[in-house]
Structures are given as structure tokens and as C-alpha cells.
């Protein structure tokens, strides 16, 4: 008997699958998550994978959460331990009172288990070997067999799983029956030999609604299709590669000219990130909507070009799926580590527009918006995602599109206006918003052409190295950046019921964990106003939020408090009033971490004001 009483929970627990990379477990594990969704119970799955093709450990975690908390929770209630390499660590990671499902074909010494967990052995290899002779089949069906066993142990809806398999193997019926057979092999064995269900159960509920289950990288790609991108240049890098690949996939479905099967898009896998951004800048200079997708190291390589695009005022959209870095290892882990390298990318005085989507649906929206913003502001726009959003399926609002929406191509002067005698100065601020007009190459035989360079030019794009002309241009670029503050997505604020002197600012993938943390804090009688920042430059409401609170926690997933630095820099606030809450070990931030850290700070603040401690 376990020394801790077994955890008992319906529709609220965490299952983690420990597998070997390349063993075909991913699709079986995803099937498990989807089956629970089909039962109307929200899930939040996460891949924890190595930089490797085959052989290294990989994990897949499914948080089952009827309450709809989609952030990582921390802690594991049921471990499906399928990887001998990590067995001991996996067993140690289980919460007291939790459960272990393992392959009991080979006896494992008792010492390797724990007495405070429930150990469930299923002879998976033995069942497989008895049924299948082909080694590949043994490997693949073993995964489905453990899903079958889990369906019995967790009291899952079998028809839902069968229906999902049917959808997965539509048109490949030959594969369907063997999969259903394997599912029942596992299920039947469990029903006959184990006490089912265990303390963790899935019960049909009504918590999913019309939400969709999608990865952020696919959502970004779809947003680029809807946003009118025609040129994509990219270089493979985890975790962004699947974004460009999804764009290719969507374009081959949605952007084929019916007349002659020609492509209304051009995608180039470039030789490196320098070329990727160069292609994007060339295409955008020439009037096409263009983007690249990359991650931190790619951003580093693009710095010189990004500066040129800033000064030459060329629209470019850059999706940065952030990861820890550099080199190998941590790059398959999530982080919000590129804020500063994007915000101030390049040499000289530069500032860039950043968008921070919280989930795949907002990524879709911001992706499409980014092309409008880039054209309107004639400047690079970064969509800062991260691995947690990009490479995990997330339950989110369905995508929506307003068919009356028109692309905002910004201030472009065409042949008609030039012929009508309108004055064209490429860097002339005609409207006072800092945004000049541009012309596309090839517009007019004798008017509107100009020579694009970096900074050494006057308002009419004539070459000059005069300091006055340079400073004049730099001032205008600042005006343009001010204009951006009211064009980018506004921060979203949610106030506590009662007025409080404490606030919290967060952004991006921290969002679901933060929502949950607020509830955890409330349960302990601690209330905070919160603001989700959705873009840089900051809207004036950010400064107001800072003014309204004595202390503002800034929650982020990096070591150096990069958003806090940006706020200090741009909003002129006393840094002491901004308390960093930082999570940066490569795992997604959890509500437990946020609530605990903020709770400790609040307790400390009650004893001694932080202002006094620091000064």
C-alpha cells in the first residue's frame, strides 16, 4: 500500500509520457490528448523534446483541466514511463500519491519504485511480441496498446478514440483496423488484470465549446496567407521551421491559381538567415508582402539588414519563435529571450515594433496585422512567439476573418498621383506622423524614382552626409515610432475587484499561467491588477498602469528581465517599483511558480517596504 493516499481527481490532473525520440510515440500521445478533448474536457499538451532525431529521451505532457487552465501546471500525477534511460528520474518526478504505468515485461527490482505511488505494470512488450512479428509494428503498436490500457485506467470514451483513429486513417483503411485492434488489446488486458479506473478519471464535460486545437506555428503561417504574404524566405531552425513548412502547405491548398495551377506565392529556402532577410527586404522594397521565420540565432545574424530596413524604411515581417540558446541542447526549450535583441536590433539608433501574441489564435491575428503594420509604418515588425506557443497544440478561440477587411498597404504613391504633379520626397513627412510616401520600382518613366540607401540622404533621398539632414531624419523616425504606439495592439488590463497598489505585467505565452496564478493568489487573499502587454512600442496606458500602482511585478521567461528593461528604458519609471518575476530554465512558466514568487514578494513587502531595502 502506498504511504501517501492515492490522488483522486476527476478531469484535473497531469499525465506525462516518457518516450524515446523517433519511436512513433508522438502521434499516439496526441491521440490521447485529442480523445479527452472529444469528451469535452480541455487539455493542454506540451512537447518536451531533445535536439535529436532518434534515440534521446522525449516527453509529452498532457494537462487535463476541466477548469480550462492551459498553462503548464508543474508536477506529474501519472507517469507513463516508456523510456528505460530516464526511468529512475521519471519515477522520482511523480507527485506523492501519483501513479506509474510501466512496461512490466521484464521484472524491475522493487527498489526502483517508490512506496508513495501506485505502480501499474502492463506487459506491453510481451503483448506486442505475441501479436506482431514485424519489429516496426511491434514498436508502433506498443504505443497504441498503452493508450488502450490508459483508456481503461482513466475511464475514457472508447468510441471517441476509435472515431479519431477513423479520421486519422481516412483513405488508408488498411491501417485503421490494426490500430483499433491494438487499442483493444491494451484496453482488454487492463480491464481483465487491473483495477479500473484508478483515482484519476476523465468524465465527459462541456468545457471545450467551439474552440480549436492548433499549433502556433501553423496559426502564424495561416495568418501570413490571410495577411497577403506572397514571398517567404527562410532558413531551417528549431523551433521555427514548421512555420515556413506550414506556410508552404497552406499555400499549396489556398494559393494555387485555378487557371494553370500556377503559384500565387514564392517560397525560398535560403542559404542562411542573412539571405532570408535580404530576400524579404528586396521583395518588400519592390511592393510584395514578405516575411521570414526564425529563432534567436537567426535574429542575431539578421541584425545588419534589420538596421538597413529600419533606416531605408522597408516593411518586413519577422516571426521569431523564441527558444533558449545558443548552439544545441536548450534550443528545443522555450524562452522569451529575444526581446531586447529584437527591440533594439542592429547598429546605430534603432527601435523596432514587436508584437507579443499569447496563443495560436492571437498569433494568427497578429500575423495578418503585422503585414498591415509593416506597410503602414514602413519598418520591420517582429512577431515574438516562442516554442511553447509555436510547437504545441493549444486549445483556443476559432480563427475569424472579416471579409470586408482591406489590406492597408500604407502610403504608396502611384503613377496617377505622380502625373498629377504631387510632390514626391521619399523621406518627406507630409502628414506630420513621421511616415513618408514611397513608390514601387517601375512606377513612372520620369517621376518618383529614388535611390535607396541607409542614412546618408536628405528628405528627397538625395545623397548627403550633412549632420543636419541626418538629425532631421532621426527625429522623423522617432515621430514615426510615436505614431506606432497607437497603431499596435493595445495592452489588455484586468483589475482586481478592490483597488490595489500592486499590479502585474506579463506577455506572450505566460498568459495562461498568469490567469491561473491570479486565481491561486486570490485564494490566498492576495489581489492584483494585471496588464497583458501585447506590443512594443508601449501604449500610453502602460505608463498609466505604472503610475496607478506602487509596485508592479513583471513576469517573464528570461534571466535578465528584458521586458522590465524595456519598460524602464521607454517609460522613465523608477526601476525599484518594477519587481522582476523570472523563470528561465527552459520549461514553460507555471501558475504555481508565479503565485509562489509573487506571494513571497508580497509577504516581504508587508514587513519592509522594498523601496527602503533597495535604497
Partner 1 sequence: MTYIAKPKFHHPGLPKNELGYTHRDYEGKISTLCAGCGHDSITASIIEACFELSIAPHRVAKISGIGCSSKTPDYFLGNSHGFNSVHGRMPSVLTGANLANRDLIYLGVSGDGDSASIGFGQFAHAIRRGVNMVYIVENNGVYGLTKGQFSATADRGSKSKRGLVNNDSSIDLVAIALQLGATFVARSFSGDKHQLVPLIKAAVDHQGAAFIDVISPCVAFNNHVGSTKSFDYVREHNEAVNRLDVITGRAPIKVDYEPGKVEVVEQHDGSKLALRKLNHDYDPHDRLAAMSFLQQHAAKGLVVTGLLFVDSDPEDLHQHLNTVAAPLNTLTEPELCPGSSVLEKINAGLR
C-alpha span between 103 and 139 (Å, rounded) = 13
Binding to partner 1 in span 74-113, by CB under 8 A = none
Q: Which residues contact 557 (CB under 8 A, 6 or more apart)?
A: 334, 335, 336, 337, 386, 508, 509, 510, 582, 583, 584, 588, 589
Binding to partner 1 in span 251-280, by CB under 8 A = 254-255, 257, 260-268, 270-272, 274-280
CB atoms within 10 A of CB 312: 21
Task: Tell whether residue 611 is a contact of partner 1 (CB under 8 A).
Answer: no
C-alpha span between 391 and 241 (Å, rounded) = 10
Distance linking the first and last C-alpha atoms of the chain: 55
Q: How far is the CB of 287 from partner 1 (least distance, A)?
A: 4
Q: Which three cell numbers stand for residue 480?
A: 514615426
Q: Which of 343, 269, 254, 271 is nearest to 307 (CA)?
A: 343
C-alpha span between 242 and 82 (Å, rounded) = 27
CB atoms within 10 A of CB 162: 15
Q: Which is nearer to partner 1, 273 or 433 (CB)?
A: 273
Q: How far is the CB of 59 from partner 1 (least distance, A)?
A: 24
Going 537 to 273 to 225 to 356, the CA torsion angle's sign is negative
Cβ atoms 185, 148 nearer than 8 A = yes
Q: Which of 55, 83, 191 is nearest to 143 (CA)?
A: 83
Cβ atoms 149, 187 nearer than 8 A = yes
Q: How far is the CB of 348 from partner 1 (least distance, A)?
A: 13
Distances 3 to 87, 160, 199 between C-alpha atoms, Å? 21, 36, 15
C-alpha span between 197 and 184 (Å, rounded) = 16
3-state secondary structure of 615: coil
User: Applying CB under 8 A, which part among 21-29, 399-407, 517-525, 563-571 lies near partner 1?
Assistant: 399-407
Cβ atoms 72, 89 nearer than 8 A = no
Cβ atoms 535, 355 nearer than 8 A = yes
Q: Which three cell numbers stand for residue 408?
A: 492597408
Q: Which three cell numbers stand for residue 543?
A: 505608463
Q: How far is the CB of 307 from partner 1 (least distance, A)?
A: 9
Task: Tell whether residue 214 is a contact of partner 1 (CB under 8 A).
Answer: yes
Q: Pick from 406, 498, 606, 612 the residue near partner 1 by CB under 8 A.
A: 406
Q: Pick from 110, 400, 416, 420 the residue near partner 1 by CB under 8 A.
A: 400
Binding to partner 1 in span 463-492, by CB under 8 A = 463-465
Q: Pick from 398, 471, 603, 604 the residue near partner 1 by CB under 8 A.
A: 398
C-alpha span between 78 and 63 (Å, rounded) = 10
Q: How far is the CB of 57 from partner 1 (least distance, A)?
A: 29
Q: Pick from 87, 99, 132, 285 the residue near partner 1 by CB under 8 A.
A: 285
Half-sphere exposure of residue 150, counting CA atoms within 13 Å on the CB side? 28
Cβ atoms 321, 243 nearer than 8 A = yes
Q: How far is the CB of 501 from partner 1 (least distance, A)?
A: 43
Q: Which residues contact 260 (CB under 8 A, 6 or more apart)?
A: none
Q: Which is nearer to partner 1, 149 or 290 (CB)?
A: 290
Q: Which is nearer to partner 1, 278 or 588 (CB)?
A: 278
Q: Which is nearer to partner 1, 28 or 280 (CB)?
A: 280
Cβ atoms 424, 449 nearer than 8 A = no
Between helix 360-377 and helix 467-485 the angle, nearest 10°, is: 140
Cβ atoms 321, 295 nearer than 8 A = yes
User: Applying CB under 8 A, which part among 3-11, 47-55, 392-400, 561-569 lies near partner 1?
Assistant: 392-400
C-alpha span between 266 and 12 (Å, rounded) = 46
User: Applying CB under 8 A, which part among 89-97, 320-328, 394-402, 535-543 lies near partner 1?
Assistant: 394-402
Q: How far is the CB of 374 from partner 1 (least distance, A)?
A: 14
Q: What is the dihedral of CA 515, 517, 518, 521, to 10 degrees?
A: 170
Q: How far is the CB of 356 from partner 1 (least distance, A)?
A: 23
Q: Which is nearer to partner 1, 312 or 514 (CB)?
A: 312
β-pair partners for 118: 99
Instruction: Give φ, ψ of 35 to 5 degrees.
Output: -60, -40
Q: How far is the CB of 406 from partner 1 (least distance, A)?
A: 6
Task: Tell whether residue 555 is a contact of partner 1 (CB under 8 A).
Answer: no
Q: How far is the CB of 284 from partner 1 (least distance, A)?
A: 8
Q: How far is the CB of 349 from partner 1 (least distance, A)?
A: 17
Q: How far is the CB of 379 from partner 1 (least distance, A)?
A: 17
β-pair partners for 119: 100
Q: Which three cell numbers stand for residue 343?
A: 527591440
Q: Which is nearer to partner 1, 138 or 411 (CB)?
A: 411
Q: How far is the CB of 603 from partner 1 (least distance, A)?
A: 43
Q: Which is nearer to partner 1, 9 or 452 (CB)?
A: 452
Q: How far is the CB of 331 from partner 1 (least distance, A)?
A: 23
C-alpha span between 182 and 158 (Å, rounded) = 13
Pattern 445-464, partner 1, x by CB under 8 A: xx--xxxxxx--------xx
User: Applying CB under 8 A, which part among 96-104, 398-406, 487-495, 553-561 lies near partner 1?
Assistant: 398-406
Q: Pick from 134, 173, 192, 402 the residue near partner 1 by CB under 8 A.
A: 402
Q: Pick from 48, 91, 233, 578 the residue near partner 1 by CB under 8 A.
A: 233
User: Applying CB under 8 A, which part among 144-152, 182-190, 400-408, 575-583 lies near partner 1?
Assistant: 400-408
Q: Which is nearer to partner 1, 279 or 514 (CB)?
A: 279
Pattern 407-446, partner 1, x by CB under 8 A: x-------------------------------xxxxxxxx
3-state secondary structure of 186: helix
C-alpha span between 536 and 538 (Å, rounded) = 5
Q: Pick from 113, 169, 344, 399 the residue near partner 1 by CB under 8 A.
A: 399
Q: Pick from 283, 385, 487, 505 the residue near partner 1 by CB under 8 A.
A: 283
Binding to partner 1 in span 152-211, by CB under 8 A = 210-211
Q: Which is nearer to partner 1, 231 or 487 (CB)?
A: 231
Binding to partner 1 in span 292-321, by CB under 8 A = 304-305, 308, 312
Q: Pick from 401, 460, 501, 547 the residue near partner 1 by CB under 8 A.
A: 401
Q: Pick from 71, 97, 186, 287 the residue near partner 1 by CB under 8 A.
A: 287
Amino acid at each position: 500500500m502506498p504511504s501517501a493516499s492515492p490522488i483522486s481527481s476527476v478531469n484535473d490532473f497531469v499525465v506525462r509520457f516518457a518516450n524515446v525520440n523517433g519511436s512513433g510515440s508522438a502521434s499516439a500521445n496526441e491521440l490521447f490528448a485529442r480523445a479527452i478533448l472529444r469528451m469535452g474536457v480541455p487539455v493542454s499538451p506540451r512537447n518536451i523534446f531533445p535536439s535529436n532525431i532518434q534515440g534521446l529521451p522525449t516527453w509529452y505532457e498532457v494537462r487535463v483541466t476541466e477548469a480550462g487552465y492551459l498553462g503548464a501546471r508543474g508536477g506529474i500525477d501519472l507517469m507513463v514511463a516508456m523510456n528505460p534511460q530516464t526511468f529512475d528520474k521519471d519515477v522520482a518526478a511523480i507527485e506523492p500519491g501519483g501513479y506509474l504505468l510501466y512496461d512490466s515485461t521484464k521484472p524491475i527490482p522493487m527498489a526502483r519504485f517508490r512506496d508513495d505511488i501506485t505502480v501499474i505494470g502492463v506487459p506491453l512488450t510481451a503483448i506486442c511480441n505475441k501479436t506482431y512479428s514485424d519489429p516496426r509494428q511491434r514498436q508502433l503498436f506498443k504505443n497504441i496498446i498503452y493508450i488502450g490500457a490508459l483508456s481503461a485506467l482513466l475511464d475514457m470514451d472508447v468510441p471517441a478514440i476509435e472515431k479519431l483513429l477513423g479520421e486519422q486513417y481516412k483513405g488508408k483503411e488498411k491501417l485503421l483496423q490494426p490500430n483499433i485492434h491494438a487499442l483493444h488489446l491494451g484496453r482488454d488486458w487492463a480491464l481483465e488484470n487491473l483495477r479500473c479506473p484508478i483515482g484519476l478519471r476523465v468524465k465527459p464535460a462541456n468545457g471545450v465549446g467551439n474552440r480549436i486545437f492548433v499549433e502556433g506555428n501553423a496559426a502564424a503561417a495561416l495568418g501570413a496567407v490571410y495577411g497577403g504574404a506572397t514571398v517567404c524566405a527562410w532558413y531551417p531552425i528549431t523551433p521555427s521551421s514548421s512555420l515556413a513548412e506550414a506556410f508552404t502547405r497552406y499555400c499549396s491548398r489556398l494559393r494555387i491559381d485555378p487557371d494553370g495551377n500556377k503559384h500565387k506565392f514564392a517560397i525560398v529556402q535560403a542559404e542562411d538567415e542573412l539571405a532570408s532577410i535580404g530576400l524579404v527586404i528586396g521583395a518588400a522594397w519592390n511592393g510584395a508582402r514578405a516575411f521570414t521565420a526564425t529563432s534567436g540565432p537567426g535574429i542575431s545574424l539578421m541584425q545588419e539588414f534589420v538596421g538597413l530596413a529600419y533606416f531605408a524604411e522597408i516593411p518586413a515581417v519577422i516571426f521569431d519563435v523564441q527558444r533558449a540558446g545558443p548552439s544545441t541542447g536548450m534550443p528545443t526549450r522555450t524562452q522569451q529571450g529575444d526581446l531586447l535583441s529584437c527591440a533594439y536590433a542592429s547598429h546605430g539608433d534603432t527601435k523596432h515594433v514587436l508584437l507579443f501574441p499569447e496563443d495560436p489564435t492571437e498569433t494568427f491575428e497578429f500575423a495578418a496585422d503585422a503585414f498591415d503594420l509593416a506597410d503602414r509604418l514602413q519598418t520591420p515588425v517582429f512577431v515574438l512567439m516562442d516554442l511553447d506557443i509555436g510547437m504545441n497544440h493549444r486549445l483556443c478561440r476559432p480563427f475569424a476573418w472579416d471579409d470586408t477587411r482591406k489590406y492597408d498597404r500604407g502610403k504608396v504613391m502611384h503613377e496617377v498621383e505622380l502625373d498629377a504633379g504631387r510632390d514626391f520626397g521619399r523621406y518627406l513627412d507630409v502628414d506630420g506622423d513621421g511616415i513618408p510616401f514611397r513608390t514601387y520600382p517601375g512606377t513612372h518613366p520620369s517621376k518618383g524614382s529614388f535611390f535607396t540607401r541607409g542614412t546618408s540622404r536628405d528628405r528627397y533621398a538625395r545623397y548627403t552626409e550633412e549632420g543636419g539632414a541626418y538629425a532631421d531624419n532621426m527625429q522623423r523616425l522617432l515621430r514615426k515610432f510615436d505614431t506606432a504606439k497607437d497603431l499596435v495592439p493595445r495592452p489588455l488590463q484586468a483589475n482586481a475587484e478592490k483597488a490595489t497598489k500592486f499590479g502585474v505585467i506579463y506577455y506572450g505565452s505566460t498568459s495562461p499561467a498568469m490567469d491561473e496564478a491570479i486565481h491561486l493568489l486570490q485564494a490566498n487573499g492576495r489581489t492584483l491588477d494585471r496588464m497583458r502587454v501585447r506590443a512594443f512600442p508601449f501604449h500610453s496606458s502602460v505608463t498609466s498602469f505604472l503610475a496607478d500602482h506602487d509596485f508592479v511585478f513583471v513576469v517573464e521567461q528570461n534571466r535578465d528581465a528584458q521586458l522590465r528593461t524595456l519598460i524602464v528604458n521607454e517609460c522613465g519609471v523608477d526601476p525599484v517599483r518594477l519587481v522582476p518575476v523570472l523563470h528561465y530554465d527552459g520549461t514553460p512558466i507555471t501558475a504555481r511558480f508565479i503565485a509562489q514568487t509573487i506571494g513571497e514578494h508580497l509577504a516581504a513587502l508587508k514587513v519592509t517596504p522594498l523601496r527602503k531595502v533597495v535604497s
